[in-house]
Amino acid sequence: MRYFPHTDVDIHQMLKAIGADSLDALFSHIPKECRRFDPLDLPAPLTEWELTELLGRLSAEVAVSPEYRLFTGAGSYDHFIPSSVSYLISRSEFVTSYTPYQPEMSQGTLQAIFEFQTLVSRLLGMEVANASLYDGASSLAEALLMSIRITGNKKVAVSSLVHPLYRRVVNTYFSATDYEIIELPYLEDGTTDLTSLQKVQELAAVAVQSPNFFGSIEDLPEIGKEAKEKNALLVTCFTEPIAYGLLKSPGSQGADIVCGEGQSLGIPRSFGGPGLGLFASRLKYVRHMPGRLVGETVDKDGRRAYVLTLATREQHIRREKATSNICTNNSLCALAAAMYMASAGKSGMNTFAKLNFDKSEYLKNGLRKAGCKLPFKSRTFNEFVVIFPQGAYQRLLKKKIIAGIPLDRFYPDLSNHYVLCVTETATKEAMDILIQEVTA
């Protein structure tokens, strides 16, 4: 039995209020080719058990076969997740946590967010981190808007080696504004070319990704120096936070704002979602930060307590003072990331990072000896670009080996270039098979 919350009278009154004659008129601005006029082709109703069985069959059809060997990354990474994370995150008090707007009802939620903020700040080497954003792409866009608020300038320089989809989101954010995006080209070694900055005036920020989309590690101190000469902020983006278990943190290298994707921290790939936006900055910029911030204080009896310290969106303060329209944080994913970092600890993060680096270098050297070319000479972490012998990539696909992601989709001049990724989950056997099949 179908349930309609609105009667015909309700619908008529609502249409009249907005000046529409009918429901068809309400949706008339949508092109006909984008609208469905026939009913959905759905099966007859099923019992709970029949539906569970059907979903099981469908999931088996779309799942990636374990026979495939994957060497893909590019913003979504396969990492080991401690059992403690999977167990704790499924507990009902975390899954159904109460809204933190009422601190007297949600001390556990607020404490979890506070600890997440603390761990993110330590990982990224920054003074303050927010309660998280939606994903790495929105974090970068918000960071650039934040730099414009701080400096008052309307130009941002973004490296072409920032994840292409992140740059697309930035373009969407900026499309309705008069802000200007300047794209920085890349050098032959696979890092960002800063020479075009010399002619740019009134710059708000210089944004780079490290490790970048090619896997190369950028010279953040040098880029920061160039940014400071322009009185601009250094915005450092990332897609692989595990790298900072081994590399120097962005904050220790002069970054003013650090943002990126936290999926690697205890969140499964799940066919591309969900993600987790990490965002941190210098303390002096905290009132320009988007999203919300949890702080620690004491109550009237002197006991430790947690409160929502900053929530600078239109709902909370005057619109002209709002820093973004971010209305929430990605709370459950942020909690998973906090559990992951707490479970791994400093030594565990370092161990994971070393495994990523060592295994990546093993595959890189093996492919080089097998006749593959590595076009970029800069240092890498767990991703790198390879030029395979003619026809090798297609041959590998037939062998159920996904040897990286083609770059020509994003960089038309880089045909037959592939960015490969190796994490701690890759086995020596799988890497050896890839190396052998290249020359087969």
The per-residue pLDDT for range 13-71, each reduced to its tens digit, is 999 999 999 988 898 889 988 988 888 888 888 999 999 998 888 887 876 666 788 99
Alpha carbon distances (Å) from 116 to 101, 126, 130, 293:
18, 13, 9, 11
Q: Which amino acid is at 327?
A: C
Q: Which has the minimum average pLDDT: 14-18, 207-211, 258-262?
A: 14-18
145: tokens are 């808007």
Q: Do residues 425 and 431 lie in contact, with contact meaning Cβ atoms separated by under 8 Å? A: no
Rounded Cα gap, residues 160 and 340, in angstroms: 31
Q: Do residues 222 and 59 lie in contact, with contact meaning Cβ atoms separated by under 8 Å? A: no
pLDDT confidence of 313, banded at 50, 70, 90? Answer: low
State which fold the 69-81+346-438 domain adopts: Aspartate Aminotransferase, domain 1 (3.90.1150)
Q: Which CATH class is domain 83-341?
A: alpha beta
Rounded Cα gap, residues 383 and 420, in angstroms: 5
Q: Do residues 208 and 192 lie in contact, with contact meaning Cβ atoms separated by under 8 Å? A: yes
User: Please, what sign has the CA dihedral across residues 255, 257, 261, 265?
Assistant: positive
- Mean pLDDT over 202-231 rounds to 97
Q: Do residues 106 and 440 lie in contact, with contact meaning Cβ atoms separated by under 8 Å? A: no
Q: Do residues 433 and 71 lie in contact, with contact meaning Cβ atoms separated by under 8 Å? A: no
Buried-exposed string 195-232: b where 16+ CB fall within 10 A, e elsewhere: eebeebeebbbbbbbbbbbbbbbbbbeebbebbeebeb
- Which residues contact residue 201 at a Cβ distance below 8 angstroms, ignoring those fewer than 6 apart? 155, 230
Is the pLDDT confidence value at 316 over 70?
Answer: no
Q: Which amino acid is at 340?
A: Y
pTM exceeds 0.75 for this model: yes
Q: Per the omega criterion (within 30 degrees of 0), is the bond before 274 cis?
A: yes
Q: Per the omega criterion (within 30 degrees of 0), is the bond before 211 cis?
A: yes
168: tokens are 């697309």
Determine which helix (DSSP H) or strand (DSSP E) holds 136, and give its type and residue range. Answer: helix 136-151
User: Please, what sign has the CA dihedral across residues 51, 56, 60, 62?
Assistant: positive
Residue 237 φ then ψ, to 5°: -110, 160
Rounded Cα gap, residues 409 and 306, in angstroms: 47
Across the chain, which distance is largest between two alpha carbons, in Å? 75
Residue 2: the pLDDT is 63
Is the pLDDT confidence value at 312 over 70?
Answer: no
Nearest to 330 by CA among 141, 173, 121, 116: 116
Nearest to 417 by CA among 426, 429, 425, 409: 409
HSE (side-chain half, CA atoms, 13 Å) at 120: 33
The domain segmentation of the chain, as residue ranges, is 69-81+346-438, 83-341
pLDDT confidence of 317, banded at 50, 70, 90? Answer: low
Rounded Cα gap, residues 22 and 19, in angstroms: 9
Rounded Cα gap, residues 308 and 189, in angstroms: 45
User: Please, what sign has the CA dihedral across residues 86, 91, 93, 96?
Assistant: positive
Nearest to 359 by CA among 266, 246, 250: 246
In terms of pLDDT, which residue wins out, 167 or 109? 167
Q: Do residues 251 and 280 lie in contact, with contact meaning Cβ atoms separated by under 8 Å? A: yes
pLDDT for 107-125, tens place per residue? 888 999 999 999 999 999 9
Is the pLDDT confidence value at 359 over 70?
Answer: yes
Rounded Cα gap, residues 355 and 349, in angstroms: 10
Is the pLDDT confidence value at 415 over 70?
Answer: yes
Residue 130: the pLDDT is 95
| Helix (H/G/I), strand (E/B), else coil: 390 | coil
Is the pLDDT confidence value at 106 over 90?
Answer: no
